[in-house]
């Protein structure tokens, strides 16, 4: 499997992954132009994509879904509630490109499964994608790290794990109180500390690549997210490098290009 976070953060998300034969995007929450240029930067041709998976309807995940689907004739995969909720954001999609799923499915040689994620959206999911040998997961936009999420991603070789904010930076930061309450709540986003604790639990199953993503531009700093998670893993008895390959996904450029 290959994996590359094109953009990951509160300002827009799009993740590229696939096998030798099948290439997909998970979310497309920036302008079409930004996503096309990021794909070209990593040597991928957008017209050769096999589809786009959508986690949920928020604009930082859906902004270019319609544009890319229309321009490159790409199938779009989402559950029924997300389709309903995102319709207004994405414009008209050709009937043959509307893919509604309610159970695991395949795209080319990729097996796709989902898990529910607690978030203030219609029916937010995360994805685990496998070529039959290796698998990668995307788990972001989660207010809490649930058992269902853990079970959905625990066997993956690479996990993009949300590390959205530093709790103190949210509390003392510029956001209005209702927004602070939303971010910190059970339907909001995962903090650096909770991300570290989740990573520690996941790594009990063996070595993995963990890519920290969906960082806030206002309530986090990349070095702080990395250090916070690293400290929790070290305190938990893990050795950096030997037990975990930890990295950060950038908000503004392609990063974490990996083969697993």
Provide the minimum distance between the beta carbon of 24 and Zn ion in the complex, in angstroms, as a whole number: 18
Site residues, Zn ion (CB under 5 A): 58, 60, 141
What is the distance between the alpha carbons of residues 101 and 82, in angstroms, rounded to a whole number? 10
Provide the minimum distance between the beta carbon of 164 and Zn ion in the complex, in angstroms, as a whole number: 9
Provide the minimum distance between the beta carbon of 20 and Zn ion in the complex, in angstroms, as a whole number: 30
Provide the minimum distance between the beta carbon of 215 and Zn ion in the complex, in angstroms, as a whole number: 11
Provide the minimum distance between the beta carbon of 162 and Zn ion in the complex, in angstroms, as a whole number: 9
Measured CA angle at 38 (ends 107, 218), to 5 deg:
105
Give 51 or 188: the residue with its C-beta nearer to Zn ion.
188
Q: Hey, how many other C-beta atoms are within 10 angstroms of the C-beta on 219?
A: 25
What is the distance between the alpha carbons of residues 207 and 124, in angstroms, rounded to a whole number? 27
Give 18 or 29: the residue with its C-beta nearer to Zn ion.
29
Helix (H, G, I), strand (E, B) or coil at 111: strand
Give 50 or 84: the residue with its C-beta nearer to Zn ion.
84
Whether the Cβ atoms of residue 216 and residue 8 lie closer than 8 Å to each other: no
Give 44 or 141: the residue with its C-beta nearer to Zn ion.
141
What is the distance between the alpha carbons of residues 208 and 256, in angstroms, rounded to a whole number? 14
Phi and psi, residue 185, nearest 5° = -80, 175
Phi and psi, residue 112, nearest 5° = -120, 125
Give 58 or 165: the residue with its C-beta nearer to Zn ion.
58
């Amino acid at each position: 499997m290959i994996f590359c976070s094109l953009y990951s953060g509160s300002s827009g998300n799009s993740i590229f992954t696939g096998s030798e034969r099948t290439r997909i995007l998970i979310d497309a929450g920036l302008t079409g132009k930004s996503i096309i240029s990021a794909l070209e930067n990593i040597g991928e041709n957008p017209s050769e994509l096999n589809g786009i998976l959508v986690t949920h309807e928020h604009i930082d995940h859906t902004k270019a879904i319609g544009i890319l689907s229309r321009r490159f004739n790409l199938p779009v995969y989402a559950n029924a509630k997300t389709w309903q909720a995102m319709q207004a954001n994405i414009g008209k999609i050709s009937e043959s490109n509307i893919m509604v799923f309610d159970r695991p499915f395949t795209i080319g040689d990729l097996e796709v499964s989902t898990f529910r994620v607690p978030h203030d959206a219609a029916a937010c999911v995360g994805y685990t994608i496998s070529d039959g040998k290796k698998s990668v997961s995307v788990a972001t936009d989660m207010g809490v790290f649930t058992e269902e999420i853990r079970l959905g991603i625990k066997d993956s070789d690479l996990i993009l794990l949300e590390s959205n904010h530093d709790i103190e930076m949210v509390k003392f930061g510029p956001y209005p109180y209702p927004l602070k309450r939303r971010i910190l709540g059970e339907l909001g986003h995962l903090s650096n500390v909770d991300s570290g604790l989740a990573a520690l639990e996941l790594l009990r199953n063996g070595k993995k690549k963990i890519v920290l993503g969906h960082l806030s531009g206002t309530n986090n700093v990349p070095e702080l997210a990395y250090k916070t998670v690293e400290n929790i893993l070290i305190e938990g008895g893990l050795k950096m490098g030997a037990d975990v390959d930890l990295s950060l996904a950038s908000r503004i450029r392609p990063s974490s290009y990996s083969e697993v």
